[in-house]
Amino acid sequence: MLGDFTYANPTRLHFGEHAMDALAEELNRFGKNVLLVYGGGSIKKNGIYAQVVKVLQDCGKNIVEDGGVMPNPTVEKLYEGCARAKAGQVDLILAVGGGSVCDYAKAVSVSTYCTEDPWEKYYLRMEDVDNPIIPVGCVLTMVGTGSEMNGGSVITNHQSKLKIGHVFGDQVFPKFSILNPVFTFTLPKYQMTAGFFDIMSHILEQYFSGTDDNTSDYIMEGLLRSLIHSTRIAVKDPTNYEARSNIMWTATWALNTLVAMGKTTDWEVHMIGQSVGAYTDATHGMTLSAVSLPYYRFILQDGLAKFKRYAIAVWDVNPEGKADQQIVEEGLQRMEDYMKEMGLVLHLRELGVTEDMLEGIADGTFIMEGGYRILTKEDVITILKESM
């Protein structure tokens, strides 16, 4: 049963090998001063930076550079970006990179003209934006987060050991995003597969909740099947356009708000993963892969019917003559086999987590109430121990 909702997605997407052709027209909708945001330099090596700068110059824009956005962008970097955006009186923030760069661009967008400390206002107090917002556009180079078509913006505060995401409203979604699957070909395997699992996790976080019959669950099963199919090809043949383009599109749909409409969602894996990230600065998708199976095995009995459906509809487990328990276990075993095939991280130790961190990681884990079980702090510690 679908609950009440209002649906609109304000981001205009340009997808495909020639998607960059749309950039000039998009840029012309905005003023002259553009904050060009990017990461640690991959776009300079693979030529994307040169392509973007050429379009900006041809459009007669003043470029204000803001490079060096780190994976898991920090609050210190956010303050720096706000100062640059303000000094440059920028009319548009153009993010060229992955989720970190896009998330950071959105954070700068809402924080530059914020009269209070944006970390406290948006990330600790979760308040809405009531000051002018600078529009954001994206050229995506890494697939996974869905940041290209959503209002999510995750910022890390190493001092307080907190990594927190604020999901902003429509006005903060990118105004446009350019998605060329070829731009993702240069990703190192570790980042590529971390992105694959991030996509899977986004879908599962929204799937494993509720007991009603809901169109969104059927859409998600389709997305998962496509994802599993294409990632199996891409992991062996990373420049396979067909596979990479399907994965890129799936990533966007996994977290552009559509599949969450009219249903409840969980997000506990992300809460644990984010707290692990705050302690280790590990790659986001790998924090999720390390904790997912122990988490799902922990809550299995509370959501047995859905885990059974998952095993059959997504992993093709044949239910004939089998008890429910056996079906769900086979489903999760197939998921584990797939994760091994992808070369994903399955143990927190590999991400630098040590036993003495577990208490703190559990303290930094927000408890969600939409999943099949509401965890206690002790439950989180049990899951973390299982994930070591």
For residue 316, the minimal CB distance to Zn ion (Å) is: 25
DSSP character at residue 74? B
Site for ligand NZQ in 224-283 (CB under 6 A): 255, 270
Residue 97 interacts with, from ligand NZQ, Zn ion, none (CB under 5-8 Å by kind): ligand NZQ
User: Looking at 11, 16, 20, 71, which residue binds ligand NZQ (CB under 6 A)?
Assistant: 71
Can you read off the two tokens belonging to residue 341? 């095939």
For residue 11, the minimal CB distance to Zn ion (Å) is: 18
**What is the C-alpha to C-alpha distance for residues 34 and 61, in angstroms, rounded to an integer?**
7
The answer to whether residue 146 forms part of the interface with ligand NZQ (CB under 6 A) is yes
Name the residue nearer to Zn ion (CB basis): 66 or 198: 198
The answer to whether residue 187 forms part of the interface with ligand NZQ (CB under 6 A) is yes
User: Looking at 19, 36, 39, 279, which residue binds ligand NZQ (CB under 6 A)?
Assistant: 39
Q: How are strands ordered across the β-sheet holding 33-38?
A: 12-15, 176-179, 136-140, 92-97, 33-38, 62-66
For residue 281, the minimal CB distance to Zn ion (Å) is: 15
Name the residue nearer to ligand NZQ (CB basis): 268 or 330: 268
Name the residue nearer to Zn ion (CB basis): 112 or 274: 274
For residue 312, the minimal CB distance to ligand NZQ (Å) is: 27
DSSP character at residue 255? T
Name the residue nearer to ligand NZQ (CB basis): 201 or 328: 201
Residue 35 interacts with, from ligand NZQ, Zn ion, none (CB under 5-8 Å by kind): none
The answer to whether residue 148 forms part of the interface with Zn ion (CB under 5 A) is no
User: Looking at 198, 205, 217, 266, which residue binds Zn ion (CB under 5 A)?
Assistant: 198
The answer to whether residue 205 forms part of the interface with Zn ion (CB under 5 A) is no
The answer to whether residue 26 forms part of the interface with Zn ion (CB under 5 A) is no
Label residue 206 exposed, middle or buried (CB < 10 Å: 0-12, 13-18, 19+).
buried
The b-or-e profile of 351-371 (16+ CB within 10 A means b, else e) is bebeeebbeebbebbeebebb
Quickly count: other Cβ atoms within 10 Å of residue 291's Cβ: 32
Name the residue nearer to ligand NZQ (CB basis): 224 or 300: 224
> What's the gap between Cα 198 and its chain centre?
6
**What is the C-alpha to C-alpha distance for residues 201 and 349, in angstroms, rounded to an integer?**
20
Can you read off the two tokens belonging to residue 122? 């948006």
Long-range contacts from 88-91, C-beta under 8 angstroms, 24+ separation = 88/33, 88/35, 88/62, 88/64, 89/33, 90/33, 90/34, 90/35, 90/64, 90/134, 91/30, 91/31, 91/32, 91/33, 91/34, 91/134, 91/135
Residue 14 interacts with, from Zn ion, ligand NZQ, none (CB under 5-8 Å by kind): none
Stretch that binds ligand NZQ, among 92-100, 206-214, 230-238, 378-386 (CB under 6 A): 92-100
Can you read off the two tokens belonging to residue 90? 């920028």
Q: Are the C-beta atoms of residues 94 and 35 closer than 8 Å to each other?
A: yes
**What is the C-alpha to C-alpha distance for residues 296 and 374, in angstroms, rounded to an integer?**
13
Name the residue nearer to ligand NZQ (CB basis): 72 or 245: 72
The answer to whether residue 284 forms part of the interface with ligand NZQ (CB under 6 A) is yes
Residue 66 interacts with, from Zn ion, ligand NZQ, none (CB under 5-8 Å by kind): none
As beta bridge partners, residue 164 has 155
The answer to whether residue 210 forms part of the interface with ligand NZQ (CB under 6 A) is no
Name the residue nearer to Zn ion (CB basis): 77 or 270: 270
User: Looking at 118, 165, 181, 303, which residue binds ligand NZQ (CB under 6 A)?
Assistant: 165
Stretch that binds ligand NZQ, among 20-28, 139-147, 230-238, 240-248 (CB under 6 A): 139-147
Residue 150 interacts with, from ligand NZQ, Zn ion, none (CB under 5-8 Å by kind): ligand NZQ
H or E stretch covering 177: strand 176-179
The stretches of the chain forming alpha helices (DSSP H) are 23-27, 42-45, 48-58, 75-87, 99-111, 118, 189-207, 215-234, 241-254, 268-280, 284-299, 304-313, 324-342, 358-363, 377-387
Nearest-CA neighbor of 339 among 204, 164, 163? 204
Contacts to Zn ion by CB under 5 A: 198
Site of interaction with ligand NZQ (CB under 6 A): 39-43, 46, 71-72, 97-101, 103, 141-142, 144-147, 150, 152, 154, 165, 183-184, 186-187, 191, 195, 198, 255, 270, 284-285
